Every structure is written in C-alpha cells, then in structure tokens.
Amino acid sequence: MEDRLMTLAYFSYAHRAHILRGLLEQAGINAIVSTKTVLDCADGVRIQVREKDLDAAIKIMKDAGEEYNPEEVEKIENK
C-alpha cells in the first residue's frame, strides 16, 4: 500500500507545484506534478507523492510556507 499515490496539494499555478516538487526531490521524495481536468478543461495542478512519503512531504510543504489542507484536496479530488 505504501506505493499508492496520494495527492498532497492542488495549485492554481503550475510554477508553485514545480517549486514544491523541487523541494521534495531535494529531500529524496519523488513527486509527480499533473494537471487535473474536468470536462476537458484544466482545473488546477496537483502534486502527488507516495503514501509512505506523505508525512515527510507535508512537513516540507509547511516549512516552505504552503498550507496543507486535506479537506480541500478531497473536495477537489471528488469533483
């Protein structure tokens, strides 16, 4: 189960996701940045990490000044 991808965050702008991905990868955490689409229209950029890395990724995200909001992630994932 620890290889399952978990969505860490959504961003309106791709550059913020790529900056966070860089910080995660510097810490040895593989991260995937992808565009979420709804009805063939871009609906934000998500960043995903392996489930086993989620806690460490949340800490890095918070240290970078980004807010971790699991409720918002779940709401967007279920659109």
Domain annotation covers residue 53: yes
DSSP assignment, residue 13?
S
Distances (CA, A) of 28 to 25, 42, 47, 65, 66: 5, 29, 15, 19, 19
Q: What is the pLDDT of residue 73?
A: 78
The domain containing residue 65 runs over which residues?
5-69
Q: How many domains does the chain have?
A: 1
Give the global pTM: 0.82
CA atoms of 38 and 3, how far apart (whole Å): 26
Give the ranges where 27-69 is alpha helix by DSSP (H): 54-63
Domain annotation covers residue 76: no
11-69: pLDDT as tens digits: 888 889 999 999 999 999 999 998 765 555 556 788 999 999 999 999 999 999 998 88
Strands of 41-50's sheet in order across: 5-11, 41-50, 31-38
Domain annotation covers residue 26: yes
